[in-house]
Amino acid sequence: MAETVLKSKMANFLVTDAEVNYEDVGEFYEVIGSGNVGVLAGVLEGFRNHYGGLWVGGKVTVTQNAVHLNANAMNRMAQDGTLDVELPMTSIRKVTVEGGFVTKIVRLDTDAYSVRFRCFGAKDVASLIAKQALSQSLKRAR
């Protein structure tokens, strides 16, 4: 990612194929002497059923040409699945801001799928992405 970063923020993004690596989490719980993998599994399965996936902690980075979502080190240790997402601006067809508990959720729709992430300042990030996506689609149309 050698291009100029327009915005970078801590974020959580929804990953439909995220799986918790319970073996590694169990080993971590043993080292710290606390935690119950069975309870964690029950809670996370409830989240998965409600949201259609798991929220993965990391960051969102917006450049002129793409939106990048990358998991942080802790989530990489504890989870398997799609932990890095790159959406070219030219693939984004619609940007919306949805309600959320503490932070708002940004939804990016493409022709094939939707990506959701949450962060503080979601409205500003969504506005920047919408502006960049429109700019890129206008360039492509020329």
Cα–Cα dist 52/46, whole Å: 10
Give the chain's end-to-end CA distance (angstroms, integer): 25
| Domains of the chain (ranges, CATH numbers) | 5-21+55-141 (2.30.29.30)
Residue 89 pLDDT: 95
Residue 121 pLDDT: 96
Summary mean pLDDT of the chain: 85
Neighbouring-strand partners of residue 80 = 19
Residue 133 pLDDT: 93
Tell how far CA 115 is from the center of its chain. Answer: 7
Cα–Cα dist 38/5, whole Å: 41
**Residue 95, burial from CB neighbour count under 10 angstroms (0-12, 13-18, 19+):** buried
Neighbouring-strand partners of residue 13 = 56, 117
pTM of the model: 0.82
Residues (pLDDT < 70) of the chain are 1, 21-44, 47, 141-142
Cβ atoms 24, 78 nearer than 8 A: yes
